[in-house]
Amino acid sequence: MSADFIIRPGHKDDAAEAARLWMQSAEEHTAHDRVYETSPGAEKTMRRFLADVANSGYSFLFVAAAGDRTVGFISGELRQGSPTFLPKMWASVDDVFVEPEYRNRGMGRALLQSVQSWAQERGADGISLQVAAANARGRKFYEDLGFREISVYQVFEFE
């Protein structure tokens, strides 16, 4: 971990800042595909959701702070794999984001390492996540960390 930031478990009080970052992430995703456009009130909804995540034993919220500013976060929960396959429990990442000016400093890697430690303490078998197909940078980042593609998520929108 670099000396210019810290990674720590998120708390209910971090929900507003994490939701602010989530909105930035949503804007970046919308630039890839309009399917990611947010609804009115999305930030408020995420603030409530992330406050709940921070207070649950089966979900996680970690934040990256540079000084007194929250500049990144990762959230998700433990999920059982399909009952039709060999039993697996995954730390399923719902959201991860680092502000653009703080990227390439090891924050994303450190956030995922925090999830890995948290998940291993709880007996998880691994980490799962989804990344936008058009997010080439994100896909490469995860591949460089050892993630592999096992599925392709597709949508068909009605006109």
What CA–CA distance (Å, rounded) separates 14 from 42? 17
The confidence score (pLDDT) of residue 66 equals 96
- Report in angstroms the alpha-carbon separations of 12 from 1, 9, 19, 52, 106: 24, 10, 11, 7, 25
Of the chain, the end-to-end C-alpha distance in Å amounts to 47
The confidence score (pLDDT) of residue 56 equals 87
Q: How many CB atoms lie within 10 A of CB 15?
A: 24
What CA–CA distance (Å, rounded) separates 75 from 114? 11
Decide: 84 and 105 in contact? Cβ < 8 Å: no
The confidence score (pLDDT) of residue 57 equals 86
The confidence score (pLDDT) of residue 159 equals 87
The confidence score (pLDDT) of residue 1 equals 43
Any idea which fold 6-144 has? Aminopeptidase (3.40.630)
DSSP, collapsed to helix, strand or coil, labels residue 2 as: coil
The confidence score (pLDDT) of residue 3 equals 56
Residues of the chain predicted below pLDDT 70: 1-3
